[in-house]
Amino acid sequence: MSDFVSSGWAWYVAALVVAGLLYCAFVLIGAARHKVIYDAQGNVDKTTGHVWDGDLQELNNPLPRWWLMLFIITLVFAVAYFFFYPGLGIYQGSLKWSATGQLQNEIARAKLEQDKIFGQFAGKSHEELASDPAAMAIGQRLFLNNCAACHGSDAKGSKSFPNLTDGDWLHGGSPEKIVETIAQGRQGQMPPLAAAVGSPEEVRQVAHHVLSLSGSGHNPVLAAQGREKFKAVCAACHGADGKGNQAIGAPNLTDKIWLHGWGEEAIVRAINNGIVNVMPAQSPRLSDDQIKVVASYVWGLSNTTKVADAK
């Protein structure tokens, strides 16, 4: 597009516009001039002398005055418009108006409004915000607009998208950790480990050991056989007791909360294929103030009953 608006084209546009205006003015003056025609007897002849179909005459009346005025007004308007606003190609207009400038003004005005709203929350703790209905109404709206697509409008998540209401955290549930998660995003990553575990049978044994950790349905013989492999391969991230490690986002395997499905098949799949699960960083889309309020909302979902009522 910027190629198109080279200076040559700007002059071309300006010349077209000026020529158009001059032409309109010229036609207008011509039409406004009333040529008086006299007939052979010296009387004013109100016809142009053209006759059709025997008696159909063309009259030669001037344009009605109001009609003429309308044309003049539009012409004056056009000239004034090109004086104040860009349109002449080479000339910016005396107001220096531009679509980008208008957008930036609007954004600045909106930001001012937003700062006023979020200003009232400055200096308040997440705990205070979580029991402030005004803050939570905004937090919920932010959540519905920015998070619900993945985490569900009730924040209860679905397969691969964590439930944010259950007090079980991959990366930590303190307000500070939640802010960090939202602003920077998270990447939950478990490498494929089939080779490290060994044969498919050994993978099955480890899977049953994992099921046994939470008291889920399992084969006790296989689970016992898988214990050592679990300690050797999985404990580094999930902990010797399987309770997980929030520093690297490794989930607690003892709580019957399954992000990626449960049962032998799902766990064997996790071991064989590994898992990559990404929460995109929200800091490019949300301001720090917005992140603080939506983090308080999320924190409140599992920490106060008051918040649920504020909906």
Give the relative orientation of helices 133-146 and 288-303 as an angle to the nearest 10 degrees. 100
Of 252, 261, 260, 216, which Cα lies nearest the Cα of 234?
252
Nearest approach, Cβ of residue 115 and ligand HEC (Å): 20
Nearest approach, Cβ of residue 217 and ligand HEC (Å): 15
Contact 185, 281 (CB under 8 A): yes
- Alpha helix (H) ranges present in 48-98? 65-84
Contact 84, 93 (CB under 8 A): yes
Nearest approach, Cβ of residue 199 and ligand HEC (Å): 13
The torsion defined by the Cα of 205, 211, 216 and 217, in degrees rounded to 10, comes to -20
- State the amino acid at position 94 in one-letter form: S
Contact 166, 258 (CB under 8 A): no
Strand partners, 47: 59
Contact 290, 122 (CB under 8 A): no
Shorter beta-carbon distance to ligand HEC: residue 6 or 160: 160
Nearest approach, Cβ of residue 286 and ligand HEC (Å): 6
Shorter beta-carbon distance to ligand HEC: residue 298 or 307: 298
Nearest approach, Cβ of residue 120 and ligand HEC (Å): 21
Shorter beta-carbon distance to ligand HEC: residue 73 or 276: 276
Shorter beta-carbon distance to ligand HEC: residue 88 or 270: 270
Shorter beta-carbon distance to ligand HEC: residue 135 or 234: 234
Question: How far apart are alpha carbons 205 and 241 in whole angstroms?
Answer: 17
Question: How far apart are alpha carbons 129 and 311 in whole angstroms?
Answer: 14
Question: How far apart are alpha carbons 60 and 207 in whole angstroms?
Answer: 101
Nearest approach, Cβ of residue 102 and ligand HEC (Å): 29
Nearest approach, Cβ of residue 118 and ligand HEC (Å): 15
Question: How far apart are alpha carbons 15 and 89 in whole angstroms?
Answer: 9
Shorter beta-carbon distance to ligand HEC: residue 71 or 258: 258
Question: How far apart are alpha carbons 207 and 202 in whole angstroms?
Answer: 9
Q: For residue 137, what are its two tokens?
A: 């109404």
Contact 219, 205 (CB under 8 A): no
Contact 150, 298 (CB under 8 A): no
Shorter beta-carbon distance to ligand HEC: residue 88 or 155: 155
Please give the residue whose beta carbon sits closest to ligand HEC in the complex.
188
Shorter beta-carbon distance to ligand HEC: residue 19 or 221: 221
- Residues forming contacts to ligand HEC in the complex (CB under 6 A) are 146-147, 149-151, 160-162, 164, 169-171, 178, 181-182, 186, 188-191, 193, 197, 206, 210, 233-234, 236-238, 248-251, 258-260, 267, 270-271, 275, 277-280, 282, 294, 298
Nearest approach, Cβ of residue 134 and ligand HEC (Å): 19
Q: For residue 83, what are its two tokens?
A: 């004086």
